[in-house]
Amino acid sequence: MCGRLSQYRGIHDFVAVLSIPDALINHVGDEPLARYNAAPTTQLALLHLESNGLHADFQRWGWRPHWAKNRAAPINARVEKVAHGPFFRSIWPHRAIVPIDNWFEWVDAGDSTRQPWLIRRRDRAPVLCAAIGQFPRAGDEPRADDGFVIITADSAGGMLDIHDRRPVVLSAPLAREWLDPPATPKERTEQMALLQGEVSEVFEWYKVDKAVGNSRNQGAALIDEIP
């Protein structure tokens, strides 16, 4: 996963697919999010379940533990290591869903440039990415080092020609399980992340304009297919 995605529909459109009955505690507003070309360190809408209900907050894409100040904050965590490695140990229990519309990958275009591709669900439903992070619990104040990482897996089964890593995308029922740490044992969440992410056949991908390579460029034209 190269680190660029879109999150443009409104938060209620994303939440509707989860069918969580509790009222949403909404800190991101009701308007379309309109992030067509979100880069690392961008504040993205993040969903996490707390004792008082489902929260939607803006959180920074990227996180590192307090003892790793000498390196850039990763934006992704490899599913093969995330549950047991020391780097993400403190945030592994703090699970979240990053709902997105699509993500982008770049491949060699054969002319010394790189061609961006957009990847989305074939049914156009929200893409529910498994994530972990440090974010305010119910009643807590935000902290300067809050943030999140998206969990990634091998792009096996047809997507490898685009990129060798991709987000772990969960179905709506699995996303509800993922969001509920007290009810979902650690062993179960490891199984979900490793074995039950959506398969490649769920997705489609196509070329988009190279303007998406500049994160200052925004707008719906960036997600249009080009010949």
pLDDT digits (tens, 9 = 90+) for 72-131: 899 999 998 898 889 999 999 999 999 999 999 998 877 888 899 999 999 999 999 999
Per-residue DSSP letters for 121-168?
ETT---EEEEEEEE-PPTTPPP-TT-EEEEEEEE--SS-TTT-SEEE-
Write down the pLDDT at residue 163: 59
Rounded to an integer, what distance in angstroms lies between the CA atom of residue 44 and that of residue 195? 26
Q: What is the pLDDT of residues 132-163, one digit of tens each?
A: 999 987 677 778 889 999 999 876 655 546 65
Catalytic residue among 31, 80, 105, 177: 105
Write down the pLDDT at residue 12: 96
Rounded to an integer, what distance in angstroms lies between the CA atom of residue 118 and that of residue 104? 5
Write down the pLDDT at residue 3: 87
Write down the pLDDT at residue 112: 83
Rounded to an integer, what distance in angstroms lies between the CA atom of residue 169 and that of residue 174? 9
> Which position has the higher pLDDT, 194 or 164?
194
State mean pLDDT over 185-210: 91
CATH 3.40.50.720 is held by the domain 5-223: no
Write down the pLDDT at residue 164: 67
Catalytic residue among 2, 129, 198, 225: 2
Give the pTM: 0.93
* Statement: residue 16 has pLDDT above 60: yes
pLDDT, averaged across the chain: 90
Res. 1 pLDDT band, cuts 50 70 90: low
* Statement: residue 220 has pLDDT above 90: yes
Share of the chain above pLDDT 70, in %: 94
Rounded to an integer, what distance in angstroms lies between the CA atom of residue 79 and that of residue 165? 10
Write down the pLDDT at residue 88: 93
Rounded to an integer, what distance in angstroms lies between the CA atom of residue 90 and that of residue 133? 9
2 noted as active-site residue: yes
